Amino acid sequence: MPVLGEGLLGPQRVVIHPRSERDLAWGEDHAGAKAPGGPYSFRAYTLGPVTRIFVDKTETRASVGWLILHELAHAVLNRAPRTAGPLRSQPRPTNYATNDTAHEAVPEEQICNRVADLLTVQLGGRPGLNRHWWRKRTRAYASA
């Protein structure tokens, strides 16, 4: 059984917010800037030692667990510049934050997805709860 703290390279605070606090949290972390896209453009982000996850009915207990693992993988990369540098050397697509296909095409996202998939299985969770999985849920709730 993996011990998550052993893989972290420093402290990481994970804050779970109701989705309704997304814009407020983003503005606080980004000097008052407006969050990109609409309320369902992203699920979480990691900025330095803080990870913020936004939940509502589109998430499940398993998907929140998977998402924490995904974001912790970003946190580890943030503290490993010799690894992150080459991964981040190519510019992200301009629609990275708001377009699922563009987001999932970024190598760092693919690595974090894979880490989350591998660790969640070891912890008894469900793999594959990535952005495409979540988008299907957001569409299902929008049409309900």
| Choice between 6 and 49, residue whose per-residue pLDDT is larger | 49
Q: What is the pLDDT of residue 2?
A: 56
Average pLDDT of the chain?
Answer: 93
Q: Work out how many domains the chain is built from and give that number.
A: 1
- Distances in Å between the Cα of 104 and the Cα atoms of 32, 50, 53, 126 are 27, 22, 18, 19
Q: What are phi and psi of 104, to 5 degrees?
A: -75, -15
The boundaries of the domain holding residue 120 are: 4-143
Q: What is the pLDDT of residue 29?
A: 97
DSSP characters for 13-55? EEEEEEGGGHHHHHHHHTTTPPPSSSTTS-SEEEETTEEEEEE
Report d(CA 60, CA 129) in Å as an integer: 10
By the 8 A CB rule, do 111 and 73 touch? yes
Average pLDDT over residues 24-33: 97
Task: Look at residue 5 and tell me whether its pLDDT is greater than 70.
Answer: no
